Amino acid sequence: MALRVDERARVRGSWLWLLWHCLASAGCSHRPQLRSTVPRRGFAKVAQRESEVADRLSKEPHRCVVQLFHAKHFPDLRMYCFVMELCSKGNLTSHIRKLRSNDSSAGFGEYVAPAEAFHWIGQLLLGLEHLHVMNMLVRDLKTDNVVLSDQGRADRIMAKITDFGLCRFGTEATGDWTFDAPPGTPAYIAPEVIKGQNYGKAADLYSFGAVIWVILTGGLKVLTAGLPKVEPPCAEMAHKWDYSVLAQNCKLIAACVQNPEKHNARPLPSGAAKELVLGLTRDEAEKRPSLPSLRRHKALVHLKLPPAPASSKQADAWLATLCCLSCGGHGCSLCRLMEDGGILLEDSPLRRRRPRKTPVPRRSSLQALVTRS
Ligand SMILES: Nc1ncnc2c1ncn2[C@@H]1O[C@H](COP(=O)(O)OP(=O)(O)O)[C@@H](O)[C@H]1O
Ligand SMILES: [Mg+2]
């Protein structure tokens, strides 16, 4: 259980609610995390939206999106509480920063993308698709909003999307800025959003392209406040409201991809990866590849992602293939998901893992047992 210390006093006032929800979540397979948000002026809408999304996601969870168990508004305390799945490996920015800091021979830290990098990209693709299918735009996809979970297996860290405060219901939006600023984080916002034009799913795909660039290259070879800058390139704003300059960011990413040495960047690992990032971060939204077509992209085809739109069950089965001891995570005919979440390796020459003989009771039947006793 994690709790922001500065808000503990406020949370204490509602300890009965928390205790009840933590006990209610105890039957869940993942440990819950508690996040509380005290809305400052202008932030109330963000917290409210997050709570509405939490409500939807609790009905249709997905393994590649952080699971929100409960959201509660305490109007008298001006506070929102979210009880969510704990992803104990922290966010992707910190993870990449640590990898860069581990080897600081060049002053900026060398970086080799982790072995799971492409698995994470596939997981983010499925998570993003789930939110789009649920008729939502994320609008703030970035490495800070991707959290890593090992779910008890240190060798299999998986990526999940979190932070739904800027989500929009409906996948087509007018260019109006609700908060007097373009929704999102400057280095990740699509040019059409900056220009105040109508936008849709392709805006999230732009951010996805920027996230892929950061995962594969580690971000810019620059230090900010003594720490490696784990970010895509971003045009300098002359003043606080100088958003229009951010529409140039797609050109800055393209320059980093095409001529990394000259632009304080590292090269992408392959021509296919270059094509992927350049395609997703194109200026023209309609020319960016769609999530279904990305499955056939040269850089991602080896992931053998389930066909679009992948149901939560198909996503689970695909995730199971990543754990297959026989194929080493490339997906094969030997691995498939069992009902209890375990993996059956049929006729595997390496290892045969049988499902548990006693089925694990579902939460509802657990609750029935408790009630009966
Ligand atoms: N489910 C989670 N498990 C672990 N850490 C989380 C989780 N959700 C968020 N975090 C951490 O908290 C940080 C801030 O959370 P986030 O939801 O992005 O709020 P905000 O950006 O509005 O402050 C994230 O960058 C991540 O490091
Ligand atoms: Mg965030």
Handedness of CA 172, 58, 21, 2 (dihedral sign): negative
Question: In sequence order, what E strands does the chain have?
Answer: 32-37, 68-74, 79-85, 136-137, 146-149, 158-161, 168-169, 223-224, 227-228, 335-337, 343-345
Residue 51 to residue 55: CA distance in whole angstroms: 6
Q: Domain 2-85 falls in which CATH fold?
A: Phosphorylase Kinase; domain 1 (3.30.200)
Q: What is the pLDDT of residues 22-47, one digit of tens each?
A: 555 555 445 566 665 554 445 677 88
> Ligand 1 pocket test: which of 162, 164, 230 has the largest number of ligand atoms within 8 Å of its C-beta?
162
Tokens read off for 362: 């579902």
Backbone angles phi, psi at 33, to 5 degrees: -115, 145
Identify the residue whose C-alpha is closest to ligand 1 atom 18: 163
Backbone angles phi, psi at 4, to 5 degrees: -70, 125
CB distance 50 to ligand 1 below 6 Å: no
> Can you give the residue ranges of every domain in the chain?
2-85, 92-310, 315-352
Residues 6 or more apart in contact with residue 93 via CB below 8 angstroms:
142, 143, 144, 214, 230
Task: List, in sequence order, every residue forming a beta bridge with 285; answer none if it has no partner.
Answer: none
Q: Do domains 2-85 and 92-310 have the same CATH topology?
A: no
pTM passes above 0.85? no
Q: Domain 92-310 falls in which CATH fold?
A: Transferase(Phosphotransferase); domain 1 (1.10.510)
Q: What is the pLDDT of residues 67-90, one digit of tens each?
A: 888 888 888 877 788 888 899 999
Residue 371 to residue 365: CA distance in whole angstroms: 10
Task: List, in sequence order, every residue forming a beta bridge with 85; answer none if it has no partner.
Answer: 32
Residue 103 to residue 115: CA distance in whole angstroms: 17
> Ligand 1 pocket test: which of 35, 141, 230 has the largest number of ligand atoms within 8 Å of its C-beta?
35
Q: What is the pLDDT of residues 310-367, one digit of tens each?
A: 988 889 888 887 766 666 655 555 555 444 444 454 443 334 344 445 554 444 443 4
